[in-house]
Chain A
Amino acid sequence: MNSTKTTNDENRANKRRVSKMELLATFAFFVANWIFWGVRYDDFLFVSQENSLFLFRWDFFLDWIGTPGGFLGYLTAFFLQFSYFPLLGGAIWAFWGTALHWTTAKTLNLRGVGYVFSFLPSCCLIVSATWVGYEVYIPFNASLIYNGFVGATLATAAFAGFRSIKSCRARLLFALGVGSFAYPGFGFWAAFFLFICGLDEATTRWASDAQFSEEQISKKRILSAPTRRAIALTASAAIIPLAWYYFKYFSCIKFCNFWIQGLIDDVRDKPYVVSAFSYGFASLAAFFYATTLVFSKILGNRAAKNAGRGKKSKRDREKTANARILNDKTFEKTSKKSNVKASEKGADVDEAETARRLERAAAKSRTRLFWELTAVVWAATFAISYRPATFFSVLASTRALADGDWERVLESESRLTQPNVQNVALRNLALFETGALAEKAFERPISGLSTSRISEIDLNRAQAGSSYYRCKFWLDALALESESSSRRASIETIFCYYGRSNIAARIATDNFVATEGRSASCLKTLAICATINGEKNLARRYLNVLAETLFYRNWANERLAFLETEDFRRGIRDSLDDAEYAARLKEREDAAPTRESIENAARRFGVDSENLRKIAKKVEKARSLRPLKDAPTPKGYPNLTFFLNLFVDDFDDATPEVRELELVGALLQKNGDFFLKHVDKYLEERGFAKGGAPKAIEEGLATWRFSAFGDDWDKIEYQFRPETVAGLTAFTNFVNSVQDSNSPSAQAQIREYCAGTYWGFGADQSIYEYQN
């Protein structure tokens, strides 16, 4: 009897230990989640909330709930606003991640090692959020990054309700009822709930199914009731949204979105890729549910309990527990009688002891397995979450911009060995704002690779068998790269800070339209632009909305107060007179530089024409490196190249700082015509002594005047100005001295000497390859 009692006690103690272990794991999961979001992904969280908006207002709420899944989006936006303080936001998303895990564990009754599987849906959503987050950073639909946490948790909670119902009819009605009424508010997740109910129905044997033969149930014959229920529920996951679409949402959502609406709204530019990813990850979540269901069966936590006996209600479970206690007592009584006999048999005691030892060892091994599996799941989540350095540098810079901290932008970019175009753009902006653009623009790489664009090096690595780079290839094929439309992400801010208020407002307006008016970041830009333009009422319109938010209130109120000051009234710039503008345009066109032949120029300035020919060959070679005219890639970049393409006509109207910016932009763009056309005016206005202009301008001046050759060498025409003669000779000599440009030191020299020209560009690229 004693040994039995001891065994029972041990069992109970073991259960308690397992419970504690599970609780500990849950707590650790919460903490890990918190660190993940609040510390490691803090910039990500901050920028997400900037690209979202929550207003505690009825019409805003009504606007949200106009489309399926709107209520969930509204809820998510509510939680997301707290990510203004990433640690607080991190705690919130950690809570929802943990809540999802907890509801999964409780709903599926996962215990012991099986408990680890309850982490999977949360981990899957974390991975999904980081990847989708990267993708939707561009269209700014931030709340769809996170709505999975809330949606999946609520769906699982409803699923728990479903499983607690014994009557199959009531269960079916419950699922259909919840699915039907939840669809408008929760969109995809209502359908998801129905889907997992169907899955559960297909894999569970209920007591009420006793009327069906074992053969019928095991073979899941189409006519058996459990199968019919499973089919009905799974089908309703598609039919209910379809019905809602037909009767209610026909006019405001696209047919292709009727199912996934709520999980994801259609985002512009690349809706299918984004949809595919979100959908894929959601399906993956469903897959993990299926996995956990299957594992729960293998581990016997559910299948054994339900097989042939039916699923038990709480009352039934209590009855069973009482019966067990009673059985234990009866067993005790019987054991008392046999105790004497047992004591006589010392061998039996040893056997029991051995059994206990074995059990302890097994428990230990289970514990080890539990923690090992947990560690593997978390480590995998951590490892496959999307965190490229360039993207996170962009996020860090964007966050720094919100504080106007230019040094942080520069510091963030300087850590990168291979910046992407957005990093370069933000770095240039920081240099411009700190007045060092013309001095330092070319000290760092002037071109960048897009984050997931396959470079030649990557290609080699992939061919050498690297699975990581193969994966990159695969992703590239799916066009998962934000750079292709990166101007959406940061260009409004960039133009705004460059003082191009109209264009910044134009892009911000487009982005604002894309988010259906739910972006604090766009509102901020629009308010700033309107203030710069002196459009008081317009600025007030945007600021009044921001003043209703929880965390941008002070920001908005300060600016609202500024609109009433004398400083604002003085700052309103006079609009240009159109006729005057046209006259200036004509004057500029008339004053376009004239050209002459290379021989004439060589004669005039006393330069050896052969030297010029050598230079010309270099120029020709370098020219092949520059982006093709009208090539879409550089045009779309939010850097000075793109900037210049739009505003070449504004040079005369710009401030001296912006003129300098445009000249540097011309160098980046290899637009020598523009550079030569305007550089004199700039130099004259700034009053620089010869050779005293900022480095980029000086070098651009020297080299561009050599590079203005046409492609037809026989009819070369170019222009020289007297002040460049010395530079010409020096440059010719220099080019001769570095004929062997394959050596890294020569390349470095070229880069140092010729930065700001397409010579520099070519050298820059070659150095890149050498370094990598």
Chain B
Amino acid sequence: MSDEKSNRNESVENISDFALESAASELASSEKKRKKLGFVAAAFFVALTLAAIVSTRLGGSGTPPPLGEIVDVDKLPVIYPDYLETTFPVNIAPPNFRIEEDGDRFWTRVSGSVGGESTISGRDVRFPMQKWRRLAEQNAGGRLEIEIYVRKNGVWSKYRTFGVGVSPDRIDPFVAYRLIEPGYEFGRRIELAQRSLETYRESIFFDNRASATSPCVNCHSFQNRQTDRFLFHFRRSDAPQESGTIVVENGEARKVDARLEAAAVSCSYPAWRPTGDLVVFSANKTRQYFHSLSSQKIEVYDFFSDLVLYDAKTDELTPISQTDADFETFPTWAPDGKKLYFCSARVELEALSPENATLDEAAKTKKLEDEAKLRTKDFRYNIMRATFDEKTRTFGPTETVVDAASRGRSALHPRVSPDGRFLAYTQIESGTFPIWRPEADLYLLDLATGETRPWDEVNGENADSYHTWDSSGRWLVLSSRREDGQYTRLYFAHVDENGRATKPFALPQKDPTSDRRRFKSYNIPELIAEPIDVDVRELTRAAAETATRRTAP
């Protein structure tokens, strides 16, 4: 009995052990299942998230439009930036754009006239870099046809196909510019930047915040579009003695005291001679005043303006023109360095008359400044030219190239094309500062024939002002306020051998709308053939040092 009992007990124990074991194994297996399920669910969510990210990145909110259900819309689509019928250089970064039409799905097909095709879905049309490069290379000299489909309320519409040209002429791969908020008296953050046109990479090579008083930095200029020699100005209004010109040669920077002592004025608007060590500056005394109601908001005027020759080797400054009655400014060299172009205005100011000769310097300056302010609208600049003798470093007699004053206009910013055939300039009604003049337009003078014409192909509705040619002379960059009248943006146009230009296109951006959110102007664009490779520290160090001159003034 006791054995039975003990056996039973044993079996009960065995059963319970078994039950426990099986329960435990069941628990373990269900735990495993749960883990597996959890893993699957996690993987699913990860995959879902990744898919969402990928689809967002690709802008993939739509599928190709079904054929047969498409309504043709007889109008060109609105896109930003406006790339309709523009021409791109073959080496440009993908010109992404945004479709500004109402709709819930978007689909774009780009096909080359020679070959190749790319389709992109989404409102933002962002070309993959490699795909774009292949497409551009393949169709260099041809066209890309762009079809845009938009789905709205379940109906797909196809807008009129437009094309963009692809020019085999390569543009200089970099552009240097100043990024500045269009403030009037306060430059908190002024940056000198360079941007690769073949990619979207922008880098800052000088930032004024590094300096103790956030000075104004401006007027960067490169010798012959190369970056081993360039300069820019560094101005401190609170401490003019600490202002100077930063001259960079082969990666080494120094601050030069480029001031015209006689007139107590710093030099600006530099122009490197294409070869050698010479730079021509314009020494200006500049002021500004404001209009509270006029559509022109601001007027900037000079009340002193002369040209100065600077030798980068010796730091010697030699005045070129010292005429009170003529204001000379905006010098630029012919590509061969044998001629100097500049702007000149004849001013007949009472303050400069012999009766005022007895006034002390401060009173004279004040009188001059006040009178110039009232008479700004009478100042009209012509474009002049003078030959240059390199041996004697002297300039020959001047001749008028563009007589704008006699037409009641002011011609500024002359720029000669690298082949020396064309002279592009800006024309406004009066004065010296086109960027604040809505009427500012580019003009083109054929130096061979002497014919001048408004350059309508490149002009926009608002101020079109600063422009430079690239090394090949086939591309032109200009700064323009055509977008909103306030923020200057960069535009590029192709120019053929007869001076015919294509419709300018805006600087391509990776995020096509990023320039809409950038509250800065792109200022003084200079196309350069190579990147600027100077240590920021070197520039900042030079900016902090005292401006000197190798040759005593």
A interface residues, Cβ below 8 angstroms from B: 57, 59, 250-256, 266, 268, 500-503, 505-506, 509-510, 512-514, 516-517, 530, 533, 535, 537-538, 540-541, 544-545, 575-576, 578, 581-582, 646-647, 650, 653-654
Contact = CB atoms under 8 A, between A and B. Distances in A.
Interface in B175-211: 181-189, 204, 206-207, 209-211
B294 A509 contact: no
A94 B206 CA distance: 42
Given A254-B212, A513-B183, A582-B377, A541 B484 contact: yes
B75 interface: no
Contacts of B186: 268, 510, 513-514
Contact of A250 (B210, B214, B290): B210
A541 B487 contact: yes
Contacts of B32: none
A370 B501 CA distance: 83
B517 A513 contact: no
Nearest to A67: B209
B500 interface: no
Contacts of B189: 513, 516
Contact of A541 (B294, B516, B540): B516
A739 B553 CA distance: 67
Given A256-B212, A517-B519, A538-B485, A250 B537 contact: yes
A509 B291 CA distance: 15
A254 B297 contact: no
19 contacts: A57-B517, A250-B537, A251-B209, A251-B537, A252-B210, A254-B210, A255-B212, A256-B212, A500-B292, A502-B293, A512-B183, A513-B187, A517-B519, A544-B517, A545-B517, A576-B293, A578-B296, A582-B377, A650-B292
Contact of B296 (A516, A540, A575): A575
A170 B137 CA distance: 58
Task: Name which of B181, B183, B212, B293 has the most chain A CB atoms within 10 A of its CB.
Answer: B293
A545 B514 CA distance: 12
Given A513-B181, A514-B188, A506 B210 contact: no
Contacts of A647: 292
Contacts of A502: 290-294, 297
Contacts of A57: 517
B64 to A, nearest CB: 29
A253 B540 CA distance: 11
B242 interface: no
B76 to A, nearest CB: 19
Contacts of A654: 293
A254 B211 contact: yes
B204 A251 contact: yes
Would you call the interface of chain A mostly helix, strand, loop, or mixed? helix
Q: Which of B290, B511, B514 has the most CB of A within 10 A?
A: B290
A544 B516 contact: yes
Contacts of A646: 290, 292
Interface string B498-531: 0000000000000100101101000000000000
Contacts of B464: none
A250 B207 CA distance: 10
B183 A535 contact: no
Interface string B85-98: 00000000000000
A770 to B, nearest CB: 39
Contacts of A653: 293
B83 to A, nearest CB: 17
B101 interface: no
A513 B210 contact: no
Contacts of B212: 254-256
B429 interface: yes
A64 to B, nearest CB: 13
Given A502-B291, A533-B295, 17 more contacts: A57-B517, A250-B540, A251-B204, A252-B207, A254-B211, A266-B214, A268-B188, A502-B294, A506-B184, A509-B184, A544-B517, A576-B294, A576-B295, A578-B377, A647-B292, A650-B292, A653-B293
B486 A538 contact: yes
A517 B204 CA distance: 19
Nearest to B291: A502
A272 B290 CA distance: 30
Interface in B446-467: none
Contacts of B403: none
A517 B188 CA distance: 11
B292 A537 contact: no
Question: Of residues B297, B430, B511, B540, which shows the largest number of chain A Cβ atoms within 10 Å of its Cβ?
Answer: B297
Given A251-B204, A535-B486, A575 B297 contact: no
A252 B209 contact: yes
B207 A251 contact: yes
Contacts of A545: 517
Contacts of A541: 484, 486-487, 516
B527 to A, nearest CB: 24
A176 B297 CA distance: 53
The 3 closest A-B pairs by CB, nearest first: A575-B295, A513-B183, A537-B484
Contact of B297 (A255, A505, A576): A505
A647 B297 CA distance: 13
A266 B294 CA distance: 34
Given A251-B207, A252-B207, A506 B519 contact: no
Given A510-B183, A510-B186, A251 B210 contact: yes
B483 interface: yes
Nearest to B183: A513
B50 interface: no
Contacts of A253: 209-210
Contacts of B483: 537
Contacts of B211: 254
Interface in B467-514: 483-487, 511, 514
B536 interface: yes
Contacts of B209: 251-254
A535 B484 contact: yes
Nearest to B186: A510
A505 B184 CA distance: 10
Contacts of B297: 502, 505-506
A23 B188 CA distance: 47
A575 B294 CA distance: 6
A266 B189 CA distance: 12
B485 A512 contact: no
B294 A250 contact: no
A266 B514 CA distance: 27
Nearest to A575: B295
Contacts of B187: 513
A530 B511 CA distance: 25
B211 to A, nearest CB: 7
A319 to B, nearest CB: 34
A510 B184 contact: yes
A256 B540 CA distance: 15
Nearest to A504: B292
A538 B377 contact: no
A530 B487 CA distance: 13
Contacts of B516: 541, 544
Contacts of A533: 295
Contacts of B540: 250-251
A530 B290 CA distance: 16
A637 B97 CA distance: 47
A501 B519 CA distance: 19
A538 B483 CA distance: 8
Contacts of B429: 578
A48 B411 CA distance: 48
A532 to B, nearest CB: 10
A582 B189 CA distance: 37
Contacts of A506: 184, 290, 297-298
A510 B293 contact: no
A244 B211 CA distance: 17
A493 B54 CA distance: 45
Interface in B282-331: 290-298
Nearest to B520: A517
A512 B181 contact: yes
